[in-house]
Structure 1
Amino acid sequence: MLSASLSVALLFPHLVLTLLQLQPSAGNFVSSICSPTDKYTNGSTFEFNLVHLIDYLYRDATTNGGFSTLSSGNWPDEAYGLIMCYDEYTVEDCISCLRNTTSLEASEICPRSKTAVIYYDQCFLRYSDKNFFSQVNSHDHYCSYDTISPPIDDASMKFVINFISNLSAEASQKPRMAALKMMVKGTISASVQCTRDLTPQGCRKCLQRAIDNDDFSRCSGNMNAAGMRLLYGSCYIKYETSWNLISINNSFQPKQYLTAGRVSSGWLYSTIQWTSFDPSRPI
């Protein structure tokens, strides 16, 4: 039996420090976390359910704003899964990425694992034999940061953290909003995103933990990195500081998602532009 909900969970990978790719190609594999001991046997009922689940997830997500949460089968062999595109990419990039999330590729990346998260540049796939929907996950994470651009100074970094904190607070105050983006053109672009099943309190809790704990500083290489991407199981933070490069894809139109499929709320956006960098200026 196949069931669906409008819940979603993000990523929960281990810490990996890599180069932050500002303009990645659609669908590139990034990393994965696979259960080392919780395995299914070939030809089992769970494998059958998982194969069908991943196929259904892809098909549902392509007509559902780049997002789907489904379960397949019955206990004790039920499989739970989700697919979600990151909100800053075009619909075309999203669909291109979703095409990579096949059961065959999943079985090659995480052989016979009952629990796995597979990360691509524009989307991710997560599945498990346990129901993980609507649960805040702010401990497992994946991290990448900019190792090319010069680091920013302490005052600028303080501004970045304050900027993201305020952005997170605004995002979590809108129950129907799963993500919010704000830009300071030519200065900083930041994006925060929560899974759509979280309450406003859960969203804020996840984002604030990401800011407050040591993962944030470790993710920036303890050197005030000019750009960083920090992904948790239930939320996502990304920032970039640059005078010459804005990574936000100018061709992206939010209404492409807002009117897609059954999700009428989708993602909402807010944009602010300042002409100069002033760490003391209120957000």
Structure 2
Amino acid sequence: MPNFESSVFVFLFSFLFFFLSEATPIYSSHACTDSVKYRSNSTFQINLNLLLSYLSSNATQGSHFFRTRLGDGTANVINGLFLCRGDTLAATCGDCVSTAAGEIKRRCPVQKEAIIWYDVCMLRYSHESLNNIVPSTDLSNTKNVAPEDKERFNELLAGMLNSLADKAVISQKEKFETKEVNFTRTEKLFGLVQCTPDLTAFDCNMCLRSAIASVPNCCDGKRGATVLLPGCNIRYEFFPFFNTTPSSNPPAVQSRPSGRSHVSVILGFIIPIAASVTLFAFGFCSFARKQGRYMLVLCRKTNLPEV
């Protein structure tokens, strides 16, 4: 039967994608601070090598997050951390952080501040404090949803991301949440949000709301997107890119809203964020020096076969 065969094919495709993503970390992006550099064979380089080795070894211990500091005085102090996606196994986390530690040295060979992202982990270090709130740099290249579905899609996506952010903010442990919702009778939309666990509820909320607010500008109607910041990340796709659980209970298929204006769809993203913006304005100045370096938006093309 065609429907059965298509369903089996989609299941096997999704399983294979998840298996491969667990086995091999996929590079996303990196950023280096070119204004501050260290000399070869300096004390800072020795401390950096120790830090990266320490992060790699701790990534295999079962924790998805680890933060540390090495060095003394001011010139050679270095702060570092890694964050693995909340559904990764210890071995996968360790492999990703180890890969990131090697690659960040290759891509940022003399910089005192750098960050690198993979699909399942992030690693960063800095000679200064690790700030987490930065503006965005938008890059997009992906398929769009069908024009007749765009309004309903944007509304569904906004509701899903804001719901996930609400849950992550109040999480007492990992600040990691996933969700799946029905887009059509044959397609599901999968979403994920995550903050570094050391963030306060306030900072996690600010980070996630900033990421969500960037979606209409960078990825309006796009079928897949990832927004990466030092302190948090969000992602959505039309395939299960995270480890789904049997307890997931997606809502029923939603009918297309009638008579809604484009403005009302945008408000689905903006209204939950509006209250946070006022508070954010007061806290932003302390982060101003660090702005404009470490956020990336990647909108990925989705090749899931039609069913």
What does the per-residue CA deviation read over 1:43-72, in whole Å, with 9 as the maximum and x for residues that have no partner? 111111000000001111210423211111
1:145–1:219 CA contact under 8 A, matched in 2: no
Length-normalised TM-score, structure 2: 0.67
Distance change >3 Å, CA 247–CA 121, structure 1 → 2: closer
SS of residue matched to 2:72: coil
Per the TM alignment, residue 80 of structure 1 is displaced from its structure 2 partner at its CA by 0.7
Distance change >3 Å, CA 144–CA 165, structure 1 → 2: same
How many Å separate the matches in 2 of 1:177 and 1:66? 8
What does the per-residue CA deviation read over 1:109-144, in whole Å, with 9 as the maximum and x for residues that have no partner? 101000001122221210010121xx4424256766
Report the number of matched residues: 233
Partner of 1:273: 250
How many Å separate the matches in 2 of 1:156 and 1:30? 25
> Where does structure 1 lack aligned partners over 5 or more consecutive residues?
1-20, 254-269
How many Å separate the matches in 2 of 1:233 and 1:140? 11
SS of residue matched to 1:100: helix
Identity level (%)? 26
Q: Which has the larger radius of gyration?
A: 2
> Where does structure 2 lack aligned partners over 5 or more consecutive residues?
1-16, 258-307
Q: Which one of 102, 109, 134 corresponds to residue 111 of structure 1?
A: 109
How many Å separate the matches in 2 of 1:58 and 1:141? 28
How many Å separate the matches in 2 of 1:85 and 1:142? 23
Q: Which one of 165, 169, 172 corresponds to residue 169 of structure 2?
A: 172
**CA-atom RMSD in angstroms:** 2.8
Per the TM alignment, residue 88 of structure 1 is displaced from its structure 2 partner at its CA by 3.9
Q: Is the deviation greater in 58-67 or in 228-237? A: 58-67
Partner of 2:196: 195
**Relative contact order (alpha carbons < 8 A, sep ≥ 6): 1 or 2 greater?**
1
What does the per-residue CA deviation read over 1:184-233, in whole Å, with 9 as the maximum and x for residues that have no partner? 26422111111111111221121112222xx322331x4x0122111112
Distance change >3 Å, CA 65–CA 176, structure 1 → 2: closer
The equivalences for 1:103-142 within 5 A come to 104-132=102-130, 135-140=131-136
Partner of 1:45: 43
1:40–1:46 CA contact under 8 A, matched in 2: yes
Partner of 2:283: none
Length-normalised TM-score, structure 1: 0.72
Is 2:213 the partner of 1:217? no
Residue identity matched to 2:154 = M
Distance change >3 Å, CA 127–CA 85, structure 1 → 2: same
Residue identity matched to 1:247 = F
1:179–1:194 CA contact under 8 A, matched in 2: yes
SS of residue matched to 1:209: helix
What does the per-residue CA deviation read over 1:58-115, in whole Å, with 9 as the maximum and x for residues that have no partner? 111210423211111112211111111122444443222122133x533221010000
Structure (1/2) with the larger helix percentage = 2
SS of residue matched to 2:133: coil
